[in-house]
Amino acid sequence: MFLTLLGVALLKQLVIYQVGVIPSQYYEVLGNKDFSGFKTLTAVAVTLIIVNSTLKSFDQFICNMMYVNWRKSLTEYLHSCYFQGQVYYNLLVLREDIDNPDQRISQDVERFCRQLSSMASKLVISPFTLAYYTYQCFHSTGWLGPVSIFGYFIIGTMINKVLMSPIVSKLVQQEKLEGDFRFKHMQIRVNAEPAAFYRAGRVEHMRTNRRLQSLLKTQRELIGKELWLYIGINTFDYLGSILSYVVIAIPIFSGVYGDLSPTELSALVSKNAFVSIYLIGCFSQLIDLSSTVTDVAGYTHRIGELQETLLSLGRKENGNYSEAKTSWDLDGHSGEDPVPRDTAFLLERVTLSVPSSGKLLIKDLNLRISQGNSVMIVGNTGTGKTSLLRVLGGLWESTRGSIRMLTCFGPRGVVFLPQRPFFTDGSLREQVIYPLKEIYPLSGSADDERIVRFLELAGLTDLLARAGGLDEQVDWNWYDILSPGEMQRLSFARLFYLQPKYAVLDEATSALTEEVEHELYRMCLQLGMTLISVGHRPSLEKFHSWILKLHGEGRWELTRCEKLKRLPSEEGY
């Protein structure tokens, strides 16, 4: 595509040159009153104009296609880094140095590629046009013409460089504030109902306007800095048109063309003017790109900063939690356990602190979670219950100690049900089998009856009718259509479908009654799952073999449910 653009641009320049010298030929034909020559020249001019218009259109078409391909390649590359392991989680939750990564991937990449493609044609052809018209200008005006034009361009470039520098940093700041402003509106959209219950319209109005004012203030400052750049660009554009006539005037007034008639001199001036003006125009086009270059530089900074962080997190991801495997991708899955062991997690003297504050949560925890020995994790708010699950899931690193995962993530391995259920876009079937990309082949084929049965066991019989069937593509947001209790029921239907050996439940029944909770937990045990649960209700204890109680500040105790015998922290398992 790039080579095609180069070919089209070169051909276009050849046609432009022929079109550019036509006025000088008109001077000669009209001066000599040559009607036959006038008709021929007019026919040639119309043909060249049509060809030039076609080539220019193809030039724009190729640039637009390059924009689409560049955006596809760059976005898919960033996606491959962003969704590698838990990189997106670390970037969005644990890191604060990269603002609005979603905006950088979706908007900044689009603007970067569009601006770059708009410059592509001019940049690719510039070396050829500059070389050719420099030669033509030297042939017409001598060495003084090209030297004057090159000196003019160098001065213009230096001035524009000074004017561009403060714009890049200001553009980066503006894009950050744009992302913050968009995020605020998205926050209101996602949390519209809680905000409405709080009657928070006035305060959110004030806070949203505050972000808008901050954004507009930065935009005004950016416009003020761009004003001086535009003054420089426009000044050099108009001075360039005068310079072209100065360059032509030098050989005329020095007597080089003293033997020519007025008609011949007019034709020569027209031809030489075109060459000089076009050479200056080539340089002026490059100077005119200054504003586009500043935009590209700003987007390059933001995208490059994101890329460096993603690569850094990716290398770190590959070096940590190496024993955690996944079987979400069904390609080549044999239907048998990848690691035939009866232990899911093995923790040895694990110390856990909050990554951002360093607050100590758990100290020297020894724990082995094996098949058939369900564990219930209890404790007051802020003692580290969910944090321990994050460590088990590989989202957080322990401060000290060893964590080994001996069973894979995914079907027939370990499945996590987070505190806040996640639902993607798509049909009801896609919600149930998520995060699988296709039907899990327990029976070797798609089994609609299994999905319907698990929906019924989760108490969601009516949802099938509301969705219009398993495969009906719905246009609603699942978070808007489902109540908190229905969301948790649908999460359990998903869990029943995946049928893992181990289910990690983070207050997964907090929005349900004890009766419904009892039935869902009973079904989990009936399907052969070992449970690692975070919960507060005493009624959950009967579904577990052990209770791990977290007291905060590093203290913990492990109690066996059958004998209610307390085991001191030092004894471990």
Residue 186 falls within a domain, yes or no?
no
Nearest to 376 by CA among 206, 505, 231, 211: 505
Question: Which pLDDT does position 571 carry in this prediction?
Answer: 38
Are β-strands 375-379 and 530-534 bridged in parallel, bridged antiparallel, or unpaired? parallel
Residue 527 falls within a domain, yes or no?
yes
Q: Higher-confidence residue: 56 or 263? A: 56
Residue 407 falls within a domain, yes or no?
yes
Residue 337 falls within a domain, yes or no?
no
Average pLDDT value for residue range 424-430: 86
C-beta of residue 23 within 8 angstroms of C-beta of residue 73: no
| 336 pLDDT above the threshold of 70 | no
| 337 pLDDT above the threshold of 60 | no
Residue 202 falls within a domain, yes or no?
no
Q: What is the H or E stretch that residue 284 is in?
A: helix 262-288
The DSSP secondary-structure symbol of 85 reads: T
Q: Is 145 found in the same domain as 71?
A: yes
Give the total number of structural domains in the chain. 2
Question: What range does the domain containing 30 cover?
Answer: 2-163+234-317
Q: What is the pLDDT of residues 361-397, one digit of tens each?
A: 999 999 999 988 999 999 998 899 999 998 888 888 8
Question: Which pLDDT does position 567 carry in this prediction?
Answer: 40
Q: Is 415 found in the same domain as 455?
A: yes
Question: Which pLDDT does position 218 carry in this prediction?
Answer: 92
Q: Is 150 found in the same domain as 91?
A: yes
Residue 180 falls within a domain, yes or no?
no
Question: Which pLDDT does position 334 carry in this prediction?
Answer: 39
Q: What is the pLDDT of residues 280-306, one digit of tens each?
A: 777 777 776 777 888 888 889 999 999
Residue 330 falls within a domain, yes or no?
no
Q: Which pLDDT band holds residue 566 (cuts at 50, 70, 90)?
A: very low
Residue 406 falls within a domain, yes or no?
yes
Q: Which pLDDT band holds residue 20 (cuts at 50, 70, 90)?
A: confident
The CA-atom distances, in angstroms, between 225 and each of 166, 232, 300, 384 are 7, 12, 20, 50
Average pLDDT value for residue range 258-276: 69
Instruction: Give whichever of 133-147, 213-227, 249-263 has the largest mean pLDDT.
Output: 213-227
Q: Is 492 found in the same domain as 353?
A: yes
Gap between the Cα atoms of 3 and 91, Å rounded: 38
Domain CATH code at residue 501: 3.40.50.300
Residue 469 phi, psi (nearest 5):
120, 175
| 521 pLDDT above the threshold of 90 | yes
Q: Which pLDDT band holds residue 317 (cuts at 50, 70, 90)?
A: low
Question: Which pLDDT does position 529 carry in this prediction?
Answer: 93
Question: Which pLDDT does position 14 carry in this prediction?
Answer: 81
- Which sign does the torsion angle of CA 109, 112, 118, 123 carry? negative
Domain final residue, candidates 301, 317, 333:
317
